[in-house]
Every structure is written in C-alpha cells, then in structure tokens.
Structure 1
Amino acid sequence: MARSTRESILTATAELMRVKGFGAVGMKDVVVASGAPIGSIYHHFPGGKTQIAREALVAAGAAYGLLIPTLVAPHDDLGEALESVFAQAATDMAETGFANMCPVGTVAAEVADTVEELRDATAAVFTGWLDGGTAYFASRGIPPTAARDLTITVVSALEGAFILARSLRDAEPLGAVGRVLGARYRGTTLAPGVSLTDNVGADH
C-alpha cells in the first residue's frame, strides 16, 4: 500500500534526524527527502519543523520499541537473547558504515536543554520503550521489578554503545556489552513468548 503524503513526510524526517539530528535538518531537506511540496508540508504540519520532528519521533519510537521484543522472541535463554540483540546491533552498525541507528537518541541528546517540546516527545518515547519492555520481559517470566531494571539496562547500554561505536568506527562496544550481559543472564530461562501486541501497546 502506498504511503500517504503525511506518512512520507514523517518517515523522511525521521531518517534525516537519524543521520543529522534536529538542528541540521531544514525544511528544504524535508521537501527533497519526502518529495512533498512545501505547501503540502505546511498543510499537514502547520506547526512547521518542530511539529514534524515531534510527530516523526513518536512514529519512529513506536517502531523501534518493537525491536528488542522481536529479537528476543525466538530465544528461551535470556543471556543468549541479550547477546543476540547486541550482536545484531553491531552487525547493523558495521553494515551501514556506522550510521546512527536511532533518531530518538540523536535528538534527545541534542535538544534536552533547548527545545522543550521535543524533550517531552523523546521522554515520552523512552517511557514507552521502558514500559513496553518491562511488560514484555514480565510476560516472559521475569519478575516485574527485575524486568524494569533489565529494560532500563538494555536500553541504556544500547544507546551508550551506539555512541561509542559511531565515534570509534568500531562495533566492539556493542559486542562487548552483549557478551557481558549474555554472561550475566545466561541460564535465566524465559517463559514461552506471547504476541508482541499483547505487551507493547500501540501508544508505545
């Protein structure tokens, strides 16, 4: 199914911010990347660049929030699952020439003290990831408090390792974190998985 103009604008903006952050993306960039005329962009987003960025972050955040549960789903050992998550992230970074993996983390660090509307948006996305991840790991048999701690650890480790890997142009940080977490949690059995939509709501 063809994407709507609105969806094309949001997808293009998310991709631009993934690579360039918020400040370096101009409306002309959005026009070129989305193929939408400038008048159409302001028709759909009268609030301009900040509104587009906010909605693009929310939409991208919902998709990225499903990645960890999707990668963990095939595993019944938590340690093996976590090592697999970070190994896949390392492969993806290397294969993309160490491009940034996530627009949310990029923009969050950039605007935390400067654009409150976008800080709120990134905070809401992170909250969704943490709540969704906690619910998912709890559904796989991890006690709720431990599931929360685990989710915070995994998200924090991924975002931090992404920064190191991009700066060093080396996937070693992702591989190292995966091995450490894998060793820490190997032998922790996960209960059979259930549908992701039962644990990660549409608003996350």
Structure 2
Amino acid sequence: MLELIQLNGYSGTGLAAVTEHAGAPKGSMYFHFPDGKEGLGAAAVELAQAQFEELLREAAQSEGSVAGSVRAVIAAVATIVSESDYRLGCPVSVVTLEMGAESDRLRATCERAFSSWIEPTAGLLQSEGLSAADALSLATAIVAAVEGAVVLSRAMRTTQPLESTADLLADMIAMRTGQVAGA
C-alpha cells in the first residue's frame, strides 16, 4: 500500500490493486485490516513514519552535527525521488493532502508521523544549544521545508529544490547554533 500511495495517491489506490501488488489473497487483507482501506492507509503511514525515523537515527549517528544530519537525510530523500524517476515522494504528505479533511484517523496518524520527525530533530538542535522553543520551531520549519522541496523536485523533475533546501537549512542551522556552515 505504501508504494501504491506514493505512485497513485491514497484515493487512486484501490484494495484490489493492493492485494494484487502484494500477491496476497483478498481475505487475508480483511483479516489483518478489518476496517478496510482506512486501516491499511494508517498502517502504510505508520510504516513510512518508522522508515523515516530510522533514516533520521542513522543520519544523527553518522554525522557530526545537526546540519550534517539534515544534509544526509535530504540527500537520501533526493536519491529516492530521482531513482524513482520522480514518481515517489512522501506518502505521509500525500495522505494528509488527500484525506486530512475526510478522515480524522488518517489525519491524526499523519500528525503523529510528522511529530515523530520533528521531535528528534528538535532534540538534536537542543543538544547543540538551542532552547526547547527555538529548537521545536526550527525543527518544524526543517520538516516543512523538506516536504515542500520533495513536491517541487517531483514537479520540476530535478533534485535541485532538495539540494537548495539542504544548503539553506545547513546555513540556517549553523547560524542558529553558532557553528560553521556546511558542518
């Protein structure tokens, strides 16, 4: 479901396509997801959340700074977007845009996903000297900027918006934390 949401949107992904794509019998889907497409959509968002949380953890462990971590995450996202021929993006934003006003369950699931990316980023920023309020504000802007850059990259069929966002965010983080830009 996750890949199909990225390719076709939530609304454009039917249960028959999901079972066909998964090679699973239709009955097993209803056994595991008795609430149907909404439950499957929530599970797909939760999977995307976990995958991105892991990417954030790996970047934080391998890079020496928040700016470096943000650059690494954006580079990984740019690779996913470009290697998919600009067909894949963030499934959480897709579900939010399509279903946020229609399904409180899916909206809340998307909210939790975004929060799970903002909060650890804010924690990293706090570890580099920002107050809790400033760290949360900047972390929210970082996630919002990356989400927007993904949309622009897909529309423009280039990773340039992601690359520009990485540069700008690294500079902003360095400026806010008093570090040298590009660290």
Residue 5 of structure 2 aligns with which residue?
17
Residue 75 of structure 1, CA deviation: 2.3
Matched, 1:131 2:119: yes
Greater displacement, 106-115 / 83-92? 83-92
The answer to whether the 8 A contact 1:100-1:162 is kept is no
Residue 48 in structure 1 maps to residue 36 in structure 2: yes
Deviates more, 1:168-177 or 1:131-140: 131-140
Query: Given the alignment, which residue of 73, 98, 109 partners 2:97?
Result: 109
Q: Which moved more, 1:126-135 or 1:180-189?
A: 180-189
Q: Distance in 2 between matches of 1:79 and 1:139?
A: 12
CA 1:92–1:38: 2 relative to 1, 3 Å? closer
Displacement, 1:140?
Answer: 5.2
**CA distance 1:181–1:131, shift in 2 (3 Å):** closer
Q: TM-score, normalised by structure 2?
A: 0.84
- Consecutive unaligned residues of structure 2, counting only runs of 5 or more, are none
Name 1:169's counterpart in structure 2.
157
| Structure 1 residue ranges without an equivalent (≥5) | 1-12, 190-204
Asked if 2 retains the 8 angstrom alpha-carbon contact of 1:71 and 1:85, the reply is yes
TM-score after normalising by structure 1: 0.77
Contact 1:27 1:49 in 2 (8 A): yes
Q: Contact 2:71 / 2:166 at 8 angstroms: preserved in 1?
A: yes
1:196 match: none
- Cα distance in 2 for partners of 1:78, 1:131 equals 13
Across the aligned residues of Structure 1 and Structure 2, the Cα RMSD in angstroms comes to 2.3
Partner of residue 3, structure 1: none
- Does the aligned pair in 2 maintain the 1:93–1:101 contact within 8 Å? yes
* Distance change >3 Å, CA 150–CA 66, structure 1 → 2: farther
Q: In the alignment, residue 99 of structure 2 is paired with which amino acid?
A: V
Task: Choose between structure 1 and 2 for higher RCO, CA contacts under 8 A separated by at least 6 residues.
Answer: 1
Partners of 1:110 and 1:77 lie apart in 2 by: 35
Which residue type is aligned with residue 120 of structure 1? A
Distance change (3 Å), C-alpha of 1:42 and 1:108: same
Note the alpha carbon deviations across 1:26-77, whole angstroms, 9 max, x for none: 1111111112101111111111111111122123212212323322332224
SS at match of 1:56: helix
C-alpha contact (below 8 Å) 1:14/1:103 kept by paired residues: yes
Q: Which runs of 4+ in 1 moved over 6 A?
A: none
Q: Which moved more, 1:83-92 or 1:151-160?
A: 83-92
Q: Trace 1:78-157 onto structure 2 (pairs within 5 A).
A: 78-139=66-127, 141-157=129-145
24-33 vs 111-120, which moves further: 111-120
Q: Name the aligned partner's letter for residue 42 of structure 1.
A: Y
